[in-house]
Each structure stands twice: as C-alpha cells, then as structure tokens.
C-alpha cells in the first residue's frame, strides 16, 4: 500500500537524512511501472503530517481516561485533515483510526460495566461487528494474553489450560517449546 511504502522509506530516518530518503523514494518510484507509481506529493504531505504529529500535546497522553483519549484521537484526525482529503485519509489511515476508536470503545465498556464477565460479553459483541481480519486480530491478541497468563501456573496446570485454549496438539508443541527454552 502507499502507506506501507511511505513508512518503509521513512523508517530509515536517523540513519540517513530526509533529503536522501526522498531521493531514494523518487528513484524507487521511477523504477515502477507507471500504473504502480506513488504520488510524490502525497509522500511529501505524509512527511509533513508525521512532523506535525510531533507537536501533539503530550500532557493528555499521560492520563488514560476516555476524555484524554478522545482528545488525542480528535487531534490526530484534525492533523490528518490538514494534510489529506477525506479519501486520502481513508486510504492511509482507515484501519489505524478504527483501531483507535475501538480502544476508546473498549475503555468505555470497561468503565460502564459491572464486572469482567459483562465486559467480555459486550466487547465480544463489538468485535463481531468488525471485518473478519480485525476480528481475527483481536481474537489472536486475546488468546496470546491468555497464553501469557499460563506462564505463572505449574507445569500441569499450564498444560491443561493451554490444552483448553488451543487444543491438545498445540498444547504439546507449547510444552515442548517451554522445555526447549528451559
């Protein structure tokens, strides 16, 4: 994607200067067939956008509450709109913006529910409304968190918990991996 390519070229910042990165991008772009060339103006605006992000009020980041997160999301979207059309914003930041909104929604759910079980049920309903790719990502992240918590258990408890989470074959592989690491 355009975004991934832009991020790739900007990842070298610090090792080489910005002008060299721009030259590298232009050389790469010229080597592509015309149908696959990226908009150089869009790349420049992406660079400017990334520079503008550095000026976000970082005091709100220290507080992890709904209002602070909403302010941060609003600031980021405002900066995006300064540099990109709504279509470009959708192309470059749709998934990222959706993930921020989901983080905010998850925090709201946690604050407005009575217990962990109710939170899990409501959050699962939110996940069910996502695209299949995002559903899989969230479920995998949840599974990894659950597997991580089994490290505190005894060997037998961990094996049984892993077996329940991922099945016998995967639990056996995880156990072998734990033995190999030890």
For 91-127, what is each residue's pLDDT tens digit? 899 888 988 888 888 888 888 888 888 888 888 888 8
Q: Quick one: pLDDT at residue 63?
A: 67
Most confident of 79-88, 145-154, 162-171: 79-88
State residue 59's pLDDT score.
65
Q: CB–CB of 148/161 below 8 Å?
A: no
Q: Stretch 136-165: mean pLDDT, rounded?
A: 85
Condensed to tens digits (0 to 9), the pLDDT of residues 40-93 reads 888 899 999 998 998 887 665 566 678 888 888 899 999 999 999 999 999 899
State how far the Cα of 70 lies from the Cα of 68, in Å rounded to an integer: 5
How much is the mean pLDDT over the chain?
86
What pLDDT score does 113 carry? Answer: 84
Which is nearest to 48 in space by CA: 58, 37, 40? 40
What is the model's pTM?
0.68
Report pLDDT for 80: 95
Stretch 5-15: mean pLDDT, rounded?
84
What are the C-alpha distances in Å from 160 to residues 56, 142, 166, 182? 47, 18, 10, 19
DSSP 52-64: HHTTS-GGGGG--
* Residue 58: per-residue pLDDT: 66
Residue 13 main-chain phi, psi, to 5 deg:
-60, 130
Q: Which residue has tokens 């709109």?
A: 81
């Amino acid at each position: 994607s355009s975004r991934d390519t832009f991020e790739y070229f900007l990842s070298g910042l610090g090792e080489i200067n910005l002008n060299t990165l721009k030259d590298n991008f232009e050389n790469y772009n010229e080597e592509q067939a015309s149908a696959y060339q990226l908009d150089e103006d869009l790349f420049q605006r992406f660079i400017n956008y990334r520079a503008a992000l550095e000026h976000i009020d970082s005091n709100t980041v220290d507080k992890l509450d709904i209002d602070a997160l909403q302010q941060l999301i609003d600031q980021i979207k405002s900066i995006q709109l300064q540099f990109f059309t709504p279509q470009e914003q959708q192309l470059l930041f749709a998934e990222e913006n959706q993930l921020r909104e989901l983080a905010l929604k998850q925090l709201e759910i946690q604050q407005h529910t009575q217990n962990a079980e109710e939170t899990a049920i409501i959050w699962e309903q939110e996940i069910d409304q996502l695209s299949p790719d995002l559903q899989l990502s969230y479920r995998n992240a949840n599974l990894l968190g659950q597997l991580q918590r089994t490290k505190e258990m005894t060997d037998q408890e961990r094996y049984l918990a892993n077996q329940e989470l991922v099945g016998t074959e995967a639990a056996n592989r995880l156990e072998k991996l734990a033995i190999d690491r030890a």
